[in-house]
Amino acid sequence: MKVLGIESSCDETAAALVEDARHVRGDAVWSQIALHAEYGGVVPELASRAHIVHLVPVIERALAQAGATLDDVDAIAVTRGPGLVGALLVGLQAAKALAFARGLPLVGVNHLEGHLAAIYLENDAPPDPDRPHLALLVSGGHSELVVVERPGGPYRVLGATRDDAAGEAFDKVGKMLGLGYPAGPVIDRLAATGDPRAIAFPRAMRRHKLDFSFSGMKTAVAQHLAAAGIPTGPALADLCASFQAAVLDQLVTKTEAALDETGLDTLIVAGGVASNRGLREALAAVCARRRVRLCIPPPRFCTDNAAMIACAGTFHLRRGERADLTLNAIASLPL
């Protein structure tokens, strides 16, 4: 089954054609990063307006890359939330119009389960779809520990952030340091050359076992900068390494606690922050020690894309699930 995925929940306009929830035949992303960069974050109205300009050309590009036309599409999967309402509506309306005009089945997908499904894309050894696994979902909007009973759900959320998401913490600290938006990849790169022990930022929130909190770290960085000024050169790398170490310490500690609690033997990591090199290395070491199987998608499937939406949508379509043409956006759709 070839499913056309459409994603427009935030600042990437994306379309992809995915066969059998696995083979990515065409995958196009129009990133709005440059558009929002000067504001240091996503401006919702600008995002919606960019989606409406770029979505149809992006769909054309994905189909062309696949050597396909709309005649080859068997169904349409579209992100219905969570995300910016105005942004989501653009993708939804395009998906509904296509489904109506071509008489195709339509399914609405939760963006977060798209991130979780990305592990099945172009992967010769994905997690067993018939057995539950643990997922650490870390993106710009979410930080959650989730038990995936099966791809496409049900999902059981074990813990979530009490304030900022992990990616948001990277982005906010990056903004304070003047590193541009999104700052996660820049901090990741700088951290690789710095000393993670240079500055002692606050560590994991011990009280709430499987919940995260990152706002304390952000405040600690702000206080440090107020006292010491904005560093440059090696001192900047040290600060990035120290901040990243504090974030990773929390992510890894809580993930280990969730592995203890569930006894699951497979861990997947999903979302934009899953492309962080330090996180990948730290979790690789933990999983090797615990004999837990670790699966992380390649970076291009960690950040927002439509292949993951087509993939998650396929799992729903296989169960016979269909949306009708009243499908609507839900800004804070839970997993």
What residues make contact with ligand KG4 under the rule CB under 6 A?
10, 139-141, 167-168, 170-171, 182-185, 188, 271-273, 275-276, 303-304
Residue 304 interacts with Zn ion (CB under 5 A): yes or no: yes
Nearest residue (CB) to Zn ion, 15 versus 245: 15
Torsion of CA 81, 46, 274, 241, to 10 degrees: -140
Sheet holding 75-81, edge to edge: 23-31, 12-19, 2-7, 75-81, 106-110
Local structure of residue 71 (DSSP, 8 states):
G
Q: Which of Zn ion, ligand KG4, none is residue 185 near (CB under 5 to 8 Å by kind)?
A: ligand KG4
Residue 178 C-beta: closest distance to ligand KG4, Å: 15
Nearest residue (CB) to ligand KG4, 68 versus 294: 294
Q: Which of Zn ion, ligand KG4, none is residue 182 near (CB under 5 to 8 Å by kind)?
A: ligand KG4
Local structure of residue 182 (DSSP, 8 states):
S
Nearest residue (CB) to Zn ion, 139 versus 255: 139
For Zn ion, the binding residue among 8, 48, 79, 139 (CB under 5 A) is: 139
CB atoms near residue 76 (< 10 Å) = 27
Nearest residue (CB) to ligand KG4, 303 versus 314: 303
Local structure of residue 22 (DSSP, 8 states):
T
Nearest residue (CB) to Zn ion, 79 versus 314: 79
Give the E-state strand segments of the chain in sequence order: 2-7, 12-19, 23-31, 75-81, 106-110, 133-138, 143-148, 155-160, 266-270, 293-295
Nearest residue (CB) to Zn ion, 177 versus 306: 306
Residue 24 C-beta: closest distance to ligand KG4, Å: 17
Q: Which of Zn ion, ligand KG4, none is residue 170 near (CB under 5 to 8 Å by kind)?
A: ligand KG4
Residue 140 C-beta: closest distance to ligand KG4, Å: 3
Q: Is the dihedral of CA 158, 164, 166, 168 positive or negative?
A: positive
Q: Provide the token pair at 275.
A: 């492309």
Name the nearest CA neighbour of 91 among 9, 35, 146.
9
Residue 74 C-beta: closest distance to ligand KG4, Å: 27
Residue 158 C-beta: closest distance to Zn ion, Å: 20
Local structure of residue 127 (DSSP, 8 states):
P
Please report, as ranges, the residues that interact with Zn ion according to CB under 5 A. 139, 304
